[in-house]
Amino acid sequence: MSARRLARPLALAAALALAAFAGPDVKTKFDATADFVDMHSYSWVTTTPPAGAVVPTWNQVHAAIDRDLKARGYTQAQPGDFAIGFTLGRRQQTKTWDLGQQYGGWGGPGPVDWSGGSPDVIDYTEGTLAIDVFDAKTKRPLWHGALSQRISAVPDQAEIDAAVKTVLDKFPPPPK
């Protein structure tokens, strides 16, 4: 097989491996009957971290959501037009991939070398942020946005702000 023909499958395999670590994919669901246009203020479902939460991280996320909503023109009120809450999660993940047979002779001098590939393994922490919006009067769920992405062992404020912004960029959903 020529070097050019071999390069394509290797490039494709490398692209797929890198895609496994692409940016976060936000998943959203919302009540299609809800009118988000007249929502201008918010309140919190809770202002205290749940049992078992990493309190500093919970407080950072809470503050990041506050900043993001205020930057979008929402005001905090009691009660608000909508109530907002969030959950956090993290888990250790392992990604493996194998590029398969590798060709060591790319047209240069020396012997041609076909060798079996060994799998590449990466251990990392995956963090999940879910933000939920409820009708403040009826407590009916209106909107849910969530993302899971690779995070550092102890996420810093910039990482948290980016995650919050990425999720809230999908809120509110487009008008009907």
Distance CA 46, CA 67 (A): 17
Q: Is 135 exposed, middle or buried (0-12, 13-18, 19+ CB in 10 A)?
A: middle
Mean pLDDT across the stretch 165-172? 97
Backbone phi and psi for residue 57, each to the nearest 5 degrees, phi listed first: -65, -40
Q: How many CB atoms lie within 10 A of CB 5?
A: 8
> Per the confidence metrics, is the pTM higher than 0.75?
no
Q: How many CB atoms lie within 10 A of CB 170?
A: 18
Nearest to 25 by CA among 172, 143, 158, 167: 167
Do the Cβ atoms of 27 and 129 come closer than 8 Å? no
Q: What residue type is assigned to position 146 of the chain?
A: A
pLDDT of res. 113: 53
Question: Which segment of 9-13, 26-30, 123-127, 172-176 scores lowest on mean pLDDT?
Answer: 9-13
Residue with the two structure tokens 């907002």:
84
Nearest to 5 by CA among 107, 87, 93: 107
Q: Please tell me the number of Cα atoms within 13 Å of 93 on its side-chain side.
A: 18
pLDDT at 41 > cutoff 50: yes
- For the chain, the domains span 25-168
* CATH for the stretch 25-168: 3.30.160.670
Distance CA 174, CA 64 (A): 23
Do the Cβ atoms of 142 and 135 come closer than 8 Å? yes
Greater model confidence, 8 or 30: 30
